[in-house]
Copies of this chain bind each other. A is one copy, B any other.
Amino acid sequence: MEESSDVAGTAAAAQETSDDPTVPASRRRGRPRSQASREAVLRAAAELMEPAGQAKLTMEGIAARAGVSKQTVYRWWRTKVDVLVEAVGAGYLDIPLPLPPDTGDLRADLATWLRAMAVEIDGGGATHLSQALVGAIATADSRSQQIHGVLVAPLRHSLHERFRTAVLAEGVDREMLAETVAAQLIMRVLFAEPITEEWIAALVELVAQERLHA
């Protein structure tokens, strides 16, 4: 639940609302920001996402549930998405992200992982959040960068980690492999397309090119 938890953050950027610790204590004036409020807001936002994609996320609702004034929410976050992104970043709302196993057998590992993701997705966990986040991109003023950082980048990163250690044909762009799997998966989630064994097989086949140019 800590701010600190996103420090280790893989790629996910710092969306610190910045109680910037570099500011010398002696120069911080006025009543300090209430950490209680901050946490309450993030938690409220997270909880309001839970009910299976309510998409019922309103600033008003967040403030109410957090027991905080609307102004306080607006003071620190310009938009819903900003709240959401920070909530994810700070770990209040976790996008379930199992690391791909590494048994040495890339194809098997990927398949296993994709099946795990399928379960996760069918459970509805990721779907609603992802949709909300991606949906938020539409909001004109919204920061696709941030959403990318929270939604896509971690996925890509953890996949890349697996590919990095894999035995592949020379010259294969591992970055691209990770990106491909991530993109495919996200599309699947967004458009609620089922994740079938056939699809998994085909994707693995495409991406696990250990024997190429062998």
Tell me the A residues contacting B by CB distance below 8 Å. 53-56, 131-132, 134-140, 144-145, 147-148, 152, 171-173, 175-177, 179-180, 182-184, 186-187, 190-193, 199, 202-203, 205-207, 209, 212
Contacts and interface: CB of A to CB of B under 8 A. Distances in A.
A122 to B, nearest CB: 15
Nearest to A176: B202
Given A179-B184, A180-B180, A180-B184, A191 B140 contact: no
Nearest to A69: B30
Given A134-B134, A184-B183, A206-B180, A190 B55 contact: no
A187 B135 contact: no
Contact of A190 (B144, B199, B212): B144
A209 B172 CA distance: 12
Contacts of A139: 55, 135
State the 10 A-B residue pairs at the shortest beta-carbon distance, nearest first.
A135-B138, A176-B202, A173-B202, A55-B140, A183-B183, A183-B187, A148-B191, A144-B191, A183-B184, A135-B135
Contacts of A207: 206
A166 B203 CA distance: 19
